[in-house]
């Protein structure tokens, strides 16, 4: 990778907002970005964040950086002319496809033979699929996707082939998300943490850590109900549910059920979560649950974090999280069943809110309650089995899901995307949706700037050159027009046509020259005579 240059496109939302609730996609995006910047050389971040925001976020002032708003920086990475060739980046990687892909549009406009690679986190809403569809129609052979699981790979391929009515043109590679195994690690004893969290030291603590919303995540009530039945014969277990509540009515329903069934000594819900110490919740527990019942569980980072802390896990056999473990080795997979009737769900997905669809989808997927209670009881009853599976879980994470492994997998994927890119003369590019914009709108002006337009310094411009006046302009505008001083100097001696000016500057006609000239005309620095 030492000879390859990588552009990482990272929207402000990844590293510029403090979320009030656990948001898996944002957390994963942060982790990927930080990991790649410290492990993949020759990377540049392109973002809508400011330099100070990026510096503050990473506590590093040396990150190679371009901002969408200083579009000249971005354009210069793609626009090459015979007289001013540039070294193209070898690959562009968008850390989150559900957010706008500005550099993809610029790549297509400039027809730069650079592979564009998107990252898929979630496929759970109409908005994310709409953007994926846009991505599919605005990419070409040589471009690709990185997905966290084979399940999401199959789904993406199916969608793209359905939309385009031909075999998927994108190269899709699976790179599982990673976790910080130095942070998420086992503790020699969890008694001190149990005491800190006011958990019973003499009971097996079963942890579920996820947002509490049955319309977007998991209907945890089914787990609570199963646990209440388990307590009829099992008194040595304690269910600890941790997660912000984004649905007050649902939280009240859960707490009322616990009270009505007199389960306060065996089931607890904590909605105040310290995101800076997520690992401590897992280190205080004995078993980790992820009873996801939503098809959008493309990966599931929380179970990996629990496994990294040495916990045996019980997972629903659904979507991406199914591949986290081998059944009976690191934990148990609980069988699931779904409906084949999709007409109503299609209507909800395309017409109603994602919450309405999510609610219906979650209620249309069930797991085997009997098997769940049986496997959970086995782990509660056997400390040695918990230890054995927890050791295997930690080992599995170290070999497959560490940040170090993730970084190596990304580097391998990037190398393959670069290696398999078509030769430069074989690239074809999608048509830009809104093209020839200027030629259409310019019909409304009295005249147009062309090669024969005569340019001369205005009296104001002459005073600036003589240091009798100062030029005032927005800093962002000044940064966007670096050719302005050269144009000033070229017009000091005499007037020039635009064609003569371009020749004197040894530049080929371009939007950048025209835009700078128009900026100077607009601000009364130069005058023009049009034909």
Max alpha carbon distance in the chain (Å)? 98
* Cα gap 139→118, rounded to integer Å: 10
Same domain, 390 and 292: yes
Residue 185 domain-assigned? no
Q: Domain of residue 39: give its range.
A: 6-178+412-426
Same domain, 377 and 419: no
Same domain, 307 and 366: yes
Residue 459 domain-assigned? yes
* Cα gap 334→318, rounded to integer Å: 9
Residue 11 domain-assigned? yes
Contact 234, 255 (CB under 8 A): no
Same domain, 275 and 377: yes
Contact 487, 517 (CB under 8 A): yes
Q: What is the pLDDT of residue 475?
A: 74
Q: Domain containing 448 — which CATH number?
A: 1.10.10
Q: Domains in the chain: how many in total?
A: 3
Residue 436 domain-assigned? no
Same domain, 54 and 102: yes
Same domain, 232 and 197: yes
* DSSP bridge pairs for 366: 337
**Which two tokens mark 450?**
């062309």
3-state DSSP call for residue 395? helix
Q: What is the pLDDT of residue 265?
A: 95
Residue 362 domain-assigned? yes
Q: What is the pLDDT of residue 19?
A: 40
> ∠271-288-385 over CA atoms, to 5°?
150
Q: Domain containing 224 — which CATH number?
A: 3.40.50.2000
Q: What is the pLDDT of residue 423?
A: 92
Q: What is the pLDDT of residue 28?
A: 76
Same domain, 464 and 327: no
CA atoms within 13 Å, Cβ hemisphere of 462: 8
Residue 431 domain-assigned? no
In this prediction the pTM is 0.81
From the list 274, 265, 392, the residue with the least C-alpha distance to 327 is 392
Contact 36, 10 (CB under 8 A): no
Same domain, 453 and 485: yes
Q: What is the pLDDT of residue 169?
A: 93
Neighbouring CB atoms inside 10 A of 468's CB total 9
Same domain, 359 and 253: yes
The set of residues, in sequence order, having a beta carbon less than 8 Å from that of 378 and lying 6+ positions away, is: 385
Residue 186 domain-assigned? no
Same domain, 65 and 123: yes
Contact 60, 45 (CB under 8 A): no
Neighbouring CB atoms inside 10 A of 52's CB total 9
Same domain, 164 and 34: yes
* DSSP bridge pairs for 209: 242
Each of the 531 residues of the chain gets a pLDDT tens digit; together they read 344 688 888 776 555 554 444 455 667 777 888 888 777 777 878 777 777 777 776 676 777 777 655 545 555 555 544 444 344 568 888 877 655 577 888 888 888 888 999 988 877 778 888 888 989 999 999 999 999 999 889 989 999 999 999 999 999 999 999 999 999 999 999 999 999 999 999 999 999 999 888 877 788 999 999 999 999 999 999 999 999 988 889 999 999 999 999 999 999 999 999 988 999 999 999 999 999 887 767 888 999 999 999 999 999 998 888 899 999 999 999 999 887 666 777 888 788 777 777 788 778 788 899 999 999 999 999 999 999 999 999 999 999 999 999 999 999 999 999 999 999 889 998 887 776 766 676 666 788 888 999 999 999 999 998 899 888 887 767 777 888 889 988 999 899 999 999 999 988 777 678 888 999 999 999 999 887
* Cα gap 461→465, rounded to integer Å: 6
**Residue written as tokens 């980072």?**
301
**Beta-strand relationship, 454-457 and 496-497:** antiparallel
Same domain, 103 and 195: no
DSSP assignment string, 270-301: E----GGGHHHHHHH-SEEEE----TT-SS-H
The set of long-range contacts for 354-358, using a CB threshold of 8 Å and a minimum separation of 24, is 354/124, 354/125, 354/126, 354/127, 354/216, 355/215, 355/216, 356/215, 357/125, 357/126, 358/124, 358/215, 358/216, 358/294
Q: What is the pLDDT of residue 85?
A: 39
* DSSP bridge pairs for 212: 245
Q: What is the pLDDT of residue 128?
A: 83
Q: What is the pLDDT of residue 86?
A: 40
Residue 298 domain-assigned? yes
């Amino acid at each position: 990778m030492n000879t390859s240059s990588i552009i990482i496109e990272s929207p402000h939302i990844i590293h510029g907002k403090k979320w009030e609730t656990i948001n898996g996609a944002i957390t994963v995006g942060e982790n990927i970005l930080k990991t790649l910047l410290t492990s993949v050389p020759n990377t540049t971040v392109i973002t809508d964040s400011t330099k100070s925001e990026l510096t503050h976020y990473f506590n590093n002032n040396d990150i190679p950086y371009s901002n969408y708003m200083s579009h000249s920086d971005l354009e210069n990475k793609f626009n090459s002319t015979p007289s001013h060739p540039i070294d193209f980046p070898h690959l562009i990687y968008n850390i989150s496809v559900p957010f706008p892909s500005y550099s993809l549009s610029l790549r297509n406009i400039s027809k730069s033979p650079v592979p564009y690679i998107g990252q898929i986190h979630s496929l759970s809403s109409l908005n994310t699929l709409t953007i994926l569809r846009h991505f599919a129609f605005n990419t070409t052979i040589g471009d690709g996707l990185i997905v966290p699981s084979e399940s999401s790979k199959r789904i993406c391929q199916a969608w793209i082939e359905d939309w385009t009515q031909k075999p998927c043109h994108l190269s899709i590679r699976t790179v599982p998300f990673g976790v910080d195994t130095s942070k998420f690690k086992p503790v020699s004893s969890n008694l001190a943490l149990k005491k800190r969290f006011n958990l019973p030291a003499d009971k097996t603590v079963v942890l579920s850590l996820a947002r509490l919303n049955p319309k977007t995540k998991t209907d945890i009530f089914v787990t609570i109900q199963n646990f209440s039945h388990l307590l009829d014969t099992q008194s040595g277990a304690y269910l600890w549910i941790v997660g912000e509540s984004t649905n007050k009515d649902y939280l009240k329903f859960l707490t009322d059920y616990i009270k009505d069934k007199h389960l306060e000594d065996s089931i607890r819900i904590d909605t105040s979560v310290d995101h800076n110490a997520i690992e401590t919740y897992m280190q205080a527990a004995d078993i980790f649950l992820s009873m996801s019942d939503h098809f959008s569980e493309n990966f599931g980072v929380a179970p990996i974090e629990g496994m990294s802390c040495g916990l045996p896990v019980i997972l629903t056999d659904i979507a991406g999280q199914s591949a986290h473990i081998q059944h009976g080795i690191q934990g148990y997979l609980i069988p699931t069943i779904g409906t084949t009737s999709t007409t109503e769900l299609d209507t909800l997905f395309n017409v109603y809110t994602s919450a309405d669809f999510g609610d219906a989808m979650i209620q249309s997927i069930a797991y085997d309650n009997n098997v769940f209670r049986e496997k959970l009881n086995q782990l509660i009853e056997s400390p040695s089995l918990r230890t054995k599976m927890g050791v295997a879980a930690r080992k599995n994470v170290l070999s497959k899901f560490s940040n170090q492994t993730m970084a190596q997998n990304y580097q391998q994927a990037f190398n393959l995307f670069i290696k398999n890119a078509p030769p430069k003369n074989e690239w074809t590019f999608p048509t830009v949706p809104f093209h020839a914009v200027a030629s259409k709108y310019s019909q409304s002006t009295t005249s147009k700037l062309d090669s024969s337009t005569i340019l001369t310094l205005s009296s104001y411009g002459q005073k600036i050159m003589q240091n009798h006046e100062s030029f005032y302009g927005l800093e962002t505008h000044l940064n966007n027009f670096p050719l302005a001083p050269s144009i000033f100097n070229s017009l000091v001696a005499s007037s020039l046509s635009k064609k003569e000016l371009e020749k004197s500057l040894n530049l080929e006609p371009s939007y950048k020259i025209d835009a700078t000239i128009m900026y100077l005309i607009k601000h009364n620095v130069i005058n023009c005579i049009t034909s």
